[in-house]
Structure 1
Amino acid sequence: MRWFKTKKNTLGAAPQSLAMSKPLPPKAAKAPEFITRAQAYKEQLETAKNFDELSALWKKFSFAYTMQTDDPFSDAYRQEVTELYQKLVDTPYDVQNELTSSHLSDEAFARGFPWTSDNLGVVAHEIGKAVQGFRVIAQHAPHAKSIIEFGAGWGNTAIPMARAGMDVCAVDIDQAFLKRIANEAKALSAPLRTYHADFLEAASNPGQRYDVALFSSSFHHCLEFQDLLTHIRENVLTENGVIAFFAEPISNGFSFPWGLRYDGEAVWAITCNKWLELGFREDFFLDLLKRTELQGEMVPDTTGLMGPAWLARPI
C-alpha cells in the first residue's frame, strides 16, 4: 500500500481503487497524446490539499492509449512500456523508486494508513483486504499455516494474519516500513519475521517454503513479473502451496495485454511518485500463469469492497 509523496506530507497512503475496471473511453489514443494529457493532469494533481480533493481528481481522469508492439511477451513490448514510463517521469524506472517512506511526515508515519486518509470508505477498503485474505485462504487453502507477503507495506494484512496464528514473513524493499511492522506486531503479541529485499531477491532465496505467497496491491509494482512467478513456484511454495492476488488490477477493461495503467489514480502514482503502476488484461494474466507452469483461478469477491481475488497453483 502506497502513500502521498508530496514534500513532507501528512495525508498518508492512497488506496488501490477499482478505477481500472471502469469502461474505456470510446477510442484509445496513441501514447504521445496520452503523455500530453498526463502531464497536464499532473499539474492539477499538485493543487490537491487533502485526500478528498485528490480522489475527486482521480475520478475525472481516464485516457486510454494503445500499445504499438503486438507480442506482449517480447523484449520490444517491454521496452515500449519502460520508454513510456520514462517519458512520463523523466527518468528510467528503478525498483528504488518504490522506496518512499522517507517522504512521509513523522506524524503521518506514526499514525499510519488508512487512518491518515480521514475517509471511512478508504478505511473500509483497506480493512477489506485482510477480510478477503482470511476468507479466500480459509476456503481455498485450508491447510495453509505459513504465509510470505510480498510488498507488505504498512502490514495491514501481514499483522492480522500473524495475530490469527499464521507463520508470517513480511517482505518489503523499505526497511523503515519493516521496522514499523515488526514493532506493531510485537506490541500486539503477533510474532512475525521481516525480510528486507526486493521481490526477486526474496523469491530466489526465501529461507523456507510457504503455503501461501501473497500479493495485496503489490504484484503490479514488479516489472519482472514473469521471472518472479517462476521463482515463487520453484523456490517459495510448499507442495500444495498457492499464490494469492488481492486488490490487483487484473481486468478485461484494458486496451492492451499489460502495461502502464491510465486511470486517474495510477497516473497520479506514476507521475507524482514515480511508482510503477502496471495493469493486466485477464487473458494475458492467465497466459502468463500458464507460461510459468501455474494454473489460475478467479475467486469472486465476498466482501463487497475488493473485487475478485486470483489464485495460482503449480500445474
Structure 2
Amino acid sequence: MTLFNQAEFAELDRMLADVEHAAQDNADLIRRLAAFSISPSGDLSEMKRLDPVSDTYIARVKSVHEEIIGRTHDAHLEGLPDANLNPEHERDWPYPWGTKSAGTVGISLIAYGFLIKVANLPPSARILEVGCGVGSLTTNLSRMGYRVDALDPNELQCKIIRDATKHYPEPPNVIAQTLDQWLASRTANYKYDAVIFFESFHHVIDHRDCLREMLINHLELDAKIILAAEPILEQENSLLPYPWGPRLDGESLRAMRRWGWLELGFTRAYIKRLFDDFGLSIETFSCVDALPLSQVVIGQKPLNTVNRTIDNGSRYAAALEDGIALSIDGMPAYVSSFSGLSVAESWGRWTIGDIVKLEFTHKLPRDFALRLELKSVFGPNVRKDLQVRAGAKTSAKKLAPIEEATTYEFCFNDVDANALEFVIPHPCRPKDLPGLGIEDPRRIGIGIESITIMPR
C-alpha cells in the first residue's frame, strides 16, 4: 500500500533544486525549506492501528521511507557524501565556524555547552557518541577530558576528526561504523557512563533493539541515555502523522530525497513509552536561546545498586565492645540501620559516596573512643581529613597512605546521639582515574576492616 504520489516527488525535487540555487547560505536555505512539505495521499489508518514498538510497524516505517527516497535504504547512505567534504577546509574551518554565521555558531556553541551542563557527567567519564558527523560535539566532549568513543559510518568524516584531535590530551576514539555494526563487533570490556545521540537518534530505525543491547551489555547501571537536538514533537501533526516515522517537512524531505538519509521524527508520548519499557526515568531540558538544538531528553535507571547500600536486614548477636567486623555479611544486632557502605568483601567494606551513617538501637556512650582499622585509603583521599560526627560533636584525622597508618582513633566526650556519621573527604570512581586501568564505577573512599566503640 503506497502513501504518496510519485509525481508529487518529481515536482518537489524541482522546487528543492530552485531553493538550493537561490539560497544565500545554509541558514537562508533552512528558512526557505520551511515553506515546503508533503502530505500522504494514501490511507494512514492501518499504520495508526499498529503497535509502534512492533516489528510490523518498523517494517511499515521502512516502506514509507523507501517510498520517499525512491530506493532501498542502506547505512552507507548516511553521512555527507565524500564529494561534499574537503578535509583541508574541515580542518581549518570545522563546523559550525566554517559557516561564518554568527547565528549558526552562537546557537551551536550554546547547544553544546547546555548539553554538557545538563548531562552533568563526572570527570573522565566514558561516553559513546553515536553519529558524530564531522566531530563538532566530539571535540567539545574530548576537551572536557571525557573518554569518548565516537561512531560514524563515513570513514572520511572519521579521519577528519582523528586528524583534528590527535594532539588532544584525551583524543577521542573515532570508529567508522554504524551503531548496528559496532554492537555486533564490540569486544571491549569497559562500560559507558552515557550514550549521546546528538542529531543522530532519528537516523536509527532499529533504535529499540539497539537501546536494549546497550543497556544489557555496554552501559553502567546508572548510565544516562541522552537524546539531544532530536525531532521530538508534542503530538502527531501534518509533518509527523504517526507516533514515529519519516518527517514530511522540507528540510527532512530534501535530506531524504537527495542523500537517502533516514529522517525520523518521534512524538513525546512514543519516547516516554520507549523509556518506560526499559525502566528509565525521563527528564527534559531546553534552553530557549538555542532551540531546537538545545532540546535534551535524558533517561536513566531511577534505582541502581552501583552507588547505593543494600541492607539485607541480616543481624548477628554481639556486644558493643565486640566492634563491627565489616567482612561479615550483616551487622551486629545493636545497629538498627546503615548507609554508605559497599557489600562485604573478604577484608571488609569500601565506603560508598560522601557519607557513611550508622544508626544504633540505643544511645551511644556519653564518652567513648572510636577506633577504625583501615585496609585501604583510595588515592584522592590520602592527606585529606576524615571527619566523624556523633550528634553535635565532630572529630577529624588526616588520612595517611595505608603503608604509613592503618589505625585511627577519634575521641568523643559529652555525646548525646544514637548515630555516627563518617564524612569521606574525596569519594571517587576508580574508572575516572584512567591511569589505574580499573573499571570500578563505585564512588569509593576508604576501605574499612572494623569499627569499634570503646566506652571511657
Moved more, 54-63 or 89-98: 54-63
1:36 CA drift (Å): 4.7
Aligned AA for 2:276?
A: K
Q: Which residue of 2 aligns with 1:14?
A: none
User: Is the aligned partner of 1:201 residue 2:188?
Assistant: no
Q: Which residue of 2 aligns with 1:27?
A: none
Q: Which residue of 1 aligns with 2:274?
A: 288
Structure 1 residues not aligned, in runs of 5+: 1-29
Residue of structure 2 aligned with 1:56, choices 21, 31, 53: 31
Deviations 1:257-297 (A, max 9, x none): 00000111111111111100000001111112222343322
1:215 CA drift (Å): 0.7
Higher strand residue share: 2
- Distance 1:201-1:293 versus aligned 2 partners, 3 A rule: farther
Higher helix residue share: 1
Moved more, 99-108 or 245-254: 99-108
Aligned AA for 1:244?
A: I
1:149 CA drift (Å): 0.4
1:165 CA drift (Å): 1.3
Distance in 1 between residues matched to 2:15 and 2:133, nearest whole Å: 27
Q: Which residue of 2 aligns with 1:40?
A: 11
1:244 CA drift (Å): 0.7
Contact preservation (8 Å) 1:211, 1:237: yes
Q: Which residue of 1 aligns with 2:220?
A: 238
Aligned AA for 1:61?
A: F
Which has the greater radius of gyration?
Answer: 2
Q: Which residue of 1 aligns with 2:385?
A: none
1:190 CA drift (Å): 4.2
Q: Which residue of 2 aligns with 1:91?
A: 71
Provide the TM-score with structure 2 as the length reference.
0.57
Q: Which residue of 1 aligns with 2:253?
A: 267
Aligned AA for 1:119?
A: S
Write out aligned runs for 1:150-299 (5 A).
150-204=130-184, 205=186, 207=188, 208-254=190-236, 255-299=241-285
Provide the TM-score with structure 1 as the length reference.
0.81
Structure 2 residues not aligned, in runs of 5+: 303-456
What is the count of residue pairs matched by the alignment?
A: 283
Deviations 1:69-114 (A, max 9, x none): 1222233322322222222222111111114341215265443322
Aligned AA for 1:129?
A: A
Contact preservation (8 Å) 1:101, 1:176: no
Aligned AA for 2:35?
A: K
Q: Which residue of 1 aligns with 2:374?
A: none
Aligned AA for 1:82?
A: K
User: Is the aligned partner of 1:113 residue 2:95?
Assistant: yes
Write out aligned runs for 1:296-315 (5 A).
296-301=282-287, 303-305=289-291, 306-314=293-301
- Distance 1:242-1:105 versus aligned 2 partners, 3 A rule: closer
1:42 CA drift (Å): 2.1
- Distance 1:156-1:99 versus aligned 2 partners, 3 A rule: closer
Contact preservation (8 Å) 1:226, 1:292: no
Q: Which residue of 2 aligns with 1:11?
A: none
- Distance 1:144-1:292 versus aligned 2 partners, 3 A rule: farther
- Distance 1:145-1:52 versus aligned 2 partners, 3 A rule: closer
